[in-house]
Amino acid sequence: MAKNHDVIIDKEKCIGCGLCAKDCVSGAIRVEEGKAVVNTMGCIACGHCEAICPKNAVTITGFHEEPIEFEEQTRLDPETLMKAIQTRRTIRVFKDQEVPKEVVKQIIEAGRLAPTGGNSQDTFYVVLGSKQAELEGLAVKLFQKITQMAKPILRFLKGMNIEEHFFFKKAPLVIVIMGSKVNASLAAENMAFMAEAHGLGVLYSGFFTMCVNQNRKIREIMRLKRGEKAVTTLVMGYPGVKYHRTVRREAAKVRTL
């Protein structure tokens, strides 16, 4: 995350309620003489102080957007959400139909708004776009070599056909999520739900993610720097298949202490 953020307290508006200090995860705010005071050395610019202030007395500088006012948090209906979770499936057959740019933008926005540890905001996104076919071709060649060596010991690979569309299944949209493992995973799940809300099907391609992290040519085309690591690849498009029932799962393994 960029470090050019300052927390500004409007002393005229501040009523000294202390809500910002209580909610500050890094202890960077305290109340002195009835007014909030900021220790910028400890601040991680998470924005909670700005969000919680009942008088709009806190401002964090350096961002490209203004906060959105709301009275109550928007919550999803639990039954509807559970049905969405039960009926979602990994999609491997896609229609020959482009995904509108505004939908792609909203999918990425859903990832941007996911939480990150320490407010690091270290996740970024690579939309393969015009390089998608070339990158898939390179990954196919690499994976063909890997599977030839691994087939004698990995039984699940023996019936696998590594053909030219093995990774992306002719889907029109592929986004690779980069960053730390937990943060990028949280972003990817937000993005998958947003994609499905737009009627898209989603495939998590762990195999392509592995190729990104292993192949120098793929990394060069994606303009990745040393240390930048792919965590998840989302393959997306309008489903070319329809499911009629949920699938069975093993019972949850729960350990209560």
Backbone dihedral angles phi then psi of residue 38, each to the nearest 5 degrees: -110, 135
Q: Are 6 and 29 in contact (CB under 8 A)?
A: no
- Using CA atoms, how far apart are residues 10 and 59, in angstroms rounded to an integer? 8
User: Tell me, what's the pLDDT at 152?
Assistant: 55
113 SS3 class: coil
User: Tell me, what's the pLDDT at 156?
Assistant: 57
pLDDT, averaged per 10 consecutive residues of the chain (257 residues), comes to 80 95 92 90 88 94 90 93 95 97 98 93 96 97 77 60 91 97 97 97 96 95 96 98 94 96
Q: Are 236 and 175 in contact (CB under 8 A)?
A: yes
- Using CA atoms, how far apart are residues 226 and 184, in angstroms rounded to an integer? 17
Backbone dihedral angles phi then psi of residue 41, each to the nearest 5 degrees: -65, -35
- Using CA atoms, how far apart are residues 234 and 213, in angstroms rounded to an integer? 15
pTM of this prediction exceeds 0.95:
no
CB-facing half-sphere around the CA of 224: CA atoms within 13 A: 25
CATH class for the region spanning 7-60: alpha beta
Alpha helix (H) residue ranges in 37-131? 48-52, 78-87, 101-112
For the chain, the domains span 7-60, 78-237
User: Tell me, what's the pLDDT at 153?
Assistant: 53
210 SS3 class: helix
Say which residues have a Cβ less than 8 Å from residue 83's Cβ, sequence separation at least 6: none
Give the burial class of 251: count Cβ atoms within 10 A of its Cβ; 0-12 exposed, 13-18 middle, 19 or more buried: exposed
Report which of 33, 7, 1 is spatially closest to residue 20, judged by C-alpha positions: 7
In this structure, what DSSP letter does residue 228 have? -
Say which residues have a Cβ less than 8 Å from residue 24's Cβ, sequence separation at least 6: 48, 49
**CATH 3.40.109.10 corresponds to the domain 78-237:** yes
Q: Are 115 and 186 in contact (CB under 8 A)?
A: yes
Say which residues have a Cβ less than 8 Å from residue 161's Cβ, sequence separation at least 6: none
Compute how many other C-beta atoms are within 10 angstroms of the C-beta atom of residue 59.
Answer: 17
Q: Which residues pair with 236 in a beta bridge?
A: 173, 202
- Using CA atoms, how far apart are residues 52 and 67, in angstroms rounded to an integer? 11
